Chains A and B, each alone.
Chain A
C-alpha cells in the first residue's frame, strides 16, 4: 500500500501538483489518468523519489519516503520496479544484460540461476530469442516489454509504469495491459499506471484517479467512470470514444 498525503510540487511559479492525497492498495491496479501535461509523470517521479516534493508525504507500507535520507530511499527502492515513459533501457547493454543487471547487483545468484530468471521474465513478456539484441535493434513495443521484464526481475512489491502503451498498436497495448494485470495478481504487488488509454481503464483498472491541472479531480472505480457527472472527466472520456 502506498499512501500520499497532500503532495505538492511547483516549478518556478507553476504549481504542477496541487496537494494530492490518495491511497494505492496492494494487489490492485491503480490507474492515474489525465491529459498530457497535467502532472502524471511528475507525480510518479515524485513517488519514487526522483523529484523532491515541496510539501506532503509519501509512504510505502508505513515507511515514509524521505528525499534527504538517501540510504533509506535506496532501501525502499529495492522493492520498486519501474517502466519509464521512454523505456530507459541501458543502450550499451544487450536485452539479456539489461534484465540480468538488477539480479547481478542485488542477488547472490549464480550465472546460470540468473540466466534462468532472465529467460523466465522475458518469457513472461512474450519475448524469446532476443537475448543478444541491443535496444537500438528492437522495436518500441519490444523495448517496453524488456523494460517490464527488467522491472520484475527482482521480487518487487511496487510496480510503476509511465504510459506503458503510448505509441503502441492496439494489439500490443492489450498484450501489455494483460501482462501487467497478470503480474500484479500473481505476485500481489501494488501497481500504478499512468495512462490516457481509456481501453486500459475499462480493461484492467481497479482504482482510477483522474488528474486535472495537478489536482486530484476525481477518484473511483471503472464503473464509476462512466456514470460520474464530473464535467472534465466526461470530456476526457468523450474525446476517447470512437463509436
Chain B
C-alpha cells in the first residue's frame, strides 16, 4: 500500500490519543516509568558515544587543519559548533532510534499479537493513548536532556583528546568554543532533539501498534520502527536546518 496510506494512518493514530485519559494518575505513573526507562536506560550508551564523538571530531579536525597560519583555537570553534548544531542531537537520536525505538516497537508489537491490546480495548481503555502517550511524552522530555548531556560530554571528549594527543590545550579549546558560542545554536539543538524525540517514540509506537501476525512480524515491526524513524530524523534534520538557519 502507498506511503500516503501509512502516513494517514500514522496521523489518525496520533489523533486517537487525544482523548480524556481514563485515569490521570495511572497515566502519570506510567509517564515516570517511561522517563526512567528512556532516560536512565539510555544513559550508558549516550555517555559512551558522546565522549568518543567529541574526541574523534577533535583529532580529525586537527588533522584537516595542518597549516600553522590557522590558530589552534579554530579547532575548538569547529568541534564545539558542529557538536552543538549537528553531532550531539542527530547522532545521539539516531543511536536512540535503534535502542529506544526497537524496544518500544517490540514491546507494543508483542502486546498486540498476545491480544493484550484487545484486552485493554475491551476493558474500555483507549489503548493507543494508554500505551503511546506516556512513551511519546517521555521521549520529548528525556531525549533533549540526553542531548544536553551529550553536548557536555562531547566537549569534554574533545578537550581530553586535544590534551592527550597534544594537538591543543584545554585552554585553547575552551577559548575557541566560547568565542563562537551562540545561545541560538543551543536552542536550535534542543528544537531538533525535541522533534527527534517525538519522531522516535511516535513512529515506534505506530509500528508496534499495527503489528499483525506473530513473533516474526514483531521483529519486522521493530526493524521498520528503527528504519523509518532514522529516515524521518534525517529528513526533518534537513528541513529544520532550512527553516531555522538563515545564512
Contacts and interface: CB of A to CB of B under 8 A. Distances in A.
A209 B55 CA distance: 73
Interface string B19-63: 100110010000000000000000000000000000000000000
A91 B114 contact: yes
Nearest to A107: B23
B77 to A, nearest CB: 48
A220 to B, nearest CB: 29
A77 B110 contact: no
A82 B126 contact: no
Nearest to A75: B124
B50 to A, nearest CB: 31
Contacts of A16: none
Given A77-B121, A102-B123, A86 B114 contact: yes
A104 B26 contact: yes
B115 interface: yes
A74 B26 contact: no
A212 interface: no
Contacts of A50: 118, 121-122
Given A48-B122, A77-B121, A80-B122, A105 B22 contact: yes
Contacts of A70: 16, 126
Given A104-B23, A104-B26, A106-B22, A77 B124 contact: yes
Interface residues of B, number: 18
Given A71-B19, A82-B119, A104-B23, A88 B114 contact: yes
Contacts of A48: 122
Interface string A77-92: 1101010111011110
Interface in A105-164: 105-106, 160
B116 interface: yes
Given A50-B121, A75-B124, A77-B121, A105 B116 contact: no
A136 B126 CA distance: 26
Contacts of A104: 23, 26
Interface of A: 45, 48-50, 70-71, 74-78, 80, 82, 84-86, 88-91, 101-102, 104-106, 160
